[in-house]
Structure 1
Amino acid sequence: MTIKRLDPGKRMSQAVIHNGIVYLAGQVGEPGTSLTEQTTVVLAQIDALLAEAGTDKSRLLTATIWLADMADFAAMNAVWDAWVDPANPPARATGEVKLAAPEYRVEIIVTAALS
Structure 2
Amino acid sequence: MTITANIDSSRPVATLINVFTVAPERQQELVALLARATETTMKHQPGFICANFHLSQDGERVINYAQWETEEHYWAMRANPEAQLHMTEAAAIATDVQPRLFHVQSTHARP
Alignment TM-score > 0.5, same fold: no
Structure with more relative contact order (C-alpha pairs < 8 Å, separation 6 or more): 2
TM-score (norm 2): 0.30
TM-score (norm 1): 0.29
Answer 1 or 2: which has greater strand percent: 1
